[in-house]
Structure 1
């Protein structure tokens, strides 16, 4: 009888340890950027990503100039960055010529904007923008508190106006597009989730068919790439391998966190004009 009790106790201890390991593994595999509900004009939320390793914890509070932001009208956006104690973060490192980058994307990923709020002091950033149509938009703020790592924080806002149908998010049949007189072809070393890969844009002049070699620095680099999954849960802001390149190739390295549909926006500058080339891909 004693041997049976000892055997049972040992089995229970093993099961308890296994359960604890499973919970620890689940926490480790959580998506870096988590979402909370934050819909409505003042329904902002905070979620941070990327600053934990540096030991600097920050959060962002979002407010808008109107209680009901409307499509086609200028909307003011205020982002207040604070530390764990709720005190304003006063100093930020410059990241590609700016203290903050703000990505604005519609829920169906059809609208994209990359703007730069101005730091008014004491961790308060302000910017105005026009939302082109009604619906839900995700706002993603990138910044680096002084001495800390890169941080991404996001919020949702609902824009009032005539009901607009959401466009279906579907992969492009071809990875060649012409935008603002530039023909861009996107290629990958090997497209697969959870693996670092090369992401390359080949750029040619749409009229002359000649390779482009006169790209200008955009925010201090040959270009920038923003990537968002179809469910908006996975966000990547990618910088080039060779920042001083001028074309015809602009090369990047990135890792898609998991399989699924992703939209990719390549941002470049030529002749003083910025142009954006979007592609939607299905990552195995």
Structure 2
């Protein structure tokens, strides 16, 4: 599907859920990703009738462990803080069988997001699937607390609908919840500054543009990562509703430049605070930048209007893994 068609489909079905590239956080790891203007954002085509959203707005994903006849079976519901653990899970169909066939999207069969309830820790990893449908990936989560695991996938089959299922993960150890960073138009990570231009609204698709700079200079050599120049995941504070879409255009389409701007079309499922995690690749390394944004009337008066106002949003403990 070309970028324009993707945006149209997303706006119609979901009113376009968050756009931007994958992630915004502090640390960078070996893996995260993006791809051109996709309609994934909690997947509006959900067959589940109740998500707690305004019927007029796009539904959010990740709030349910079972949806559309598929279930996220998390085999590792507890891990220890600061300790490397193998996270294991499976996707089961309505008959209870483990699913072994998936559509590849953005170079992967399944994307896995792990985030703490206070949104201070974020991981985007790509687990490995065994022949019997069991997925596994190593994780090392730095802080104790309640976490949410999101499995973002599309079952095999031409008529299959993309889904985001969520399950709770407990991380043991001394727990002290972090404060949510204040809304800001800029985020700094590893010598890079990313500026956000645009306003997230719950009723109207809006264009969000992220501009990447290094040492004050525009970055014009962004590298493709999972088929795109950026990838965005957004999580709503409170319930961690999941929104996931992709940027406008894609590498090699003849019109999309490799930076410094990565643009998205987005609509939130309702007025609230959201944490945006943007992943981008430069110099052979994936980095994550994180923003707190407000959607709704409060956003007009609270968020700074000038992307260059110097208000930096301290990076959260974000990361990637493979």
For 2:62 and 2:105, locate their aligned partners in 1 and report how far apart those are by CA, in whole Å: 23
RMSD: 1.8
Q: Name 1:231's counterpart in structure 2.
A: 238
Correspondence 1:270 to 2:282: yes
Give ranges in structure 2 of 5+ residues lacking alignment.
1-48, 54-58, 252-256, 297-322
Q: Quick check: which has more Rg, 1 or 2?
A: 1
Query: What secondary structure is seen at the aligned counterpart in 1 of 2:211?
Result: strand
1:47 maps to which of 66, 87, 112: 66
- Structure 1 residue 151: deviation in Å? 1.1
For 2:91 and 2:240, locate their aligned partners in 1 and report how far apart those are by CA, in whole Å: 22
Equivalent residues in 2 for 1:91-106, closer than 5 Å: 91-106=101-116
Correspondence 1:167 to 2:193: no
- Structure 1 residue 29: deviation in Å? 6.8
- Structure 1 residue 252: deviation in Å? 1.0
Cα 1:34–1:271 shift into 2, 3 Å? closer
Aligned length: 235
Q: Name 1:242's counterpart in structure 2.
A: 249
Could you say which structure has the greater relative contact order, defined with CA pairs below 8 angstroms and 6 or more residues apart?
A: 2
2:227 maps to which of 190, 215, 220: 220
- Structure 1 residue 47: deviation in Å? 2.7
Cα 1:97–1:29 shift into 2, 3 Å? closer
Q: Deviations over 1:51-90 (max 9, x none)?
A: x4xxxx32121111xx752111111111111111112222
Q: Name 1:202's counterpart in structure 2.
A: 211
> Under a length normalisation based on structure 1, what TM-score does the superposition of the two structures give?
0.78
Which of 137-146 and 116-125 deviates more? 116-125
Q: Deviations over 1:179-198 (max 9, x none)?
A: 1121110011x432132111
For 1:77 and 1:203, locate their aligned partners in 2 and report how far apart those are by CA, in whole Å: 33
Stretches of 4+ moved more than 4 A in 1? none
- Structure 1 residue 30: deviation in Å? 3.7
Cα 1:132–1:59 shift into 2, 3 Å? same
Equivalent residues in 2 for 1:248-259, closer than 5 Å: 248-259=260-271
Give ranges in structure 1 of 5+ residues lacking alignment.
1-26, 37-45
Correspondence 1:88 to 2:101: no
For 1:34 and 1:250, locate their aligned partners in 2 and report how far apart those are by CA, in whole Å: 25
- Structure 1 residue 128: deviation in Å? 1.2
Correspondence 1:78 to 2:88: yes
> Under a length normalisation based on structure 2, what TM-score does the superposition of the two structures give?
0.69
